[in-house]
Amino acid sequence: MKLMLLGPPGAGKGTQAKRLEDAYNIIQLSTGDMLRAEVASGSDLGKEAKEVMESGALVSDELVIGIISSRIDQDDCQKGFILDGFPRTTPQAEALDVMFADKGMTLDSVIEMKVDDDAMVERITGRYTCSECGAGYHDSFQKPKVDGTCDKCGGTEFTRRADDNAETVRSRLEAYHEQTAPIILYYGDKGVLKSIDGMAGIDEVTAQLKEVIG
């Protein structure tokens, strides 16, 4: 099964992709996570992406298309995956079509998570993740059961993203509306687009996703 989650920063793509991984036994492919791993490793690619990401703009199409194309070829992707944060521009969507045609793959569902921009700043500035296992949390909306301890792995170290501040969120939302929102029409025209209400609670959003995925 191959799924794509579309939505602005803070829509809940990462939160839900992790839940869908478990429910459908497929893996999350987040270009944001892949780029952050490159930045953390200090690779040339990471050096190229770091400043752009911290400004809230999009890195070049060429760079992310290259990353995702080689990632999709790996063994663990053959049973299926959830695209989270890719494609993000019309050229990326077109490149994905070519990639899928070349690899003999088809997309099962493209799902738009509809949210209000105004709520995204609070979601993003309150977000943090377990440094050990990457589980996601929120200061108000998704607290660990025991304060300061990860529910999944028991880790006690947490990190916040460098681009998760109110000012950068505004730039990221702008980039989304200018460069990414047009691809919703792209998939709408192909007749594969489904929409859900991303403003509902986290469990309710998961239920809606499972319903549209079928």
Chain contacts with ligand AP5 (rule: CB under 6 A)? 7, 9-15, 30-32, 35, 52-53, 56, 58-59, 64, 85-86, 88, 92, 123-124, 126-127, 136, 138, 141-142, 172, 201-202, 205
Report the distance separating Cα 61 and Cα 64, nearest Å: 5
Query: For ligand AP5, which is the closer residue by CB, 143 or 191?
Result: 143
Q: If contact means CB under 5 to 8 A according to the sort of partner, which of Mg ion, ligand AP5, none does residue 123 touch?
A: ligand AP5
Residue with the shortest CB distance to Mg ion = 14
Cα gap 112→168, rounded to integer Å: 23
Strand partners, 83: 4, 29
Encoded tokens for 139: 């200061």
Q: How far is the CB of 160 from ligand AP5 (least distance, A)?
A: 10
Nearest-10 crossing angle of helices 44-55, 61-72 = 120
User: What residue type is 193 in one-letter code?
Assistant: L
Give catalytic residue positions: 13, 88, 127, 161, 172
Where on the chain is the footprint of Mg ion (CB under 5 A)?
Answer: 14
Least Å distance between CB 45 and ligand AP5? 12
Q: Which residue's CB comes closest to ligand AP5?
A: 32
The interface partner of residue 155, options being ligand AP5, Mg ion, none and the CB cut-off 5 to 8 Å by kind, is none
Look up residue 192 and give its two tokens: 């594969």
Contact 36, 66 (CB under 8 A): no
| Minimum CB distance to Mg ion, residue 206 (Å) | 15
Rounded distance between C-alpha atoms, residue 208 and residue 77, angstroms:
24
Distance CA 53, CA 168 (A): 9
Nearest residue (CB) to Mg ion, 31 versus 208: 31
For Mg ion, which is the closer residue by CB, 32 or 155?
32
Q: Which of 94, 75, 74, 71 is nearest to 83 (CA)?
A: 71
Give min distance, CB of 182 to ligand AP5, in A: 14
> Which one of ligand AP5, Mg ion, none is in contact with 2 (Cβ closer than 5 to 8 A by kind)?
none
Q: Give the one entry of Mg ion, ligand AP5, none that residue 3 binds, where binding means its C-beta sits below a cut-off of 5 to 8 angstroms depending on kind.
A: none
| Token reading at 61 | 């199409």
Sheet strands side by side (includes 81-84): 27-30, 81-84, 2-6, 109-114, 193-197
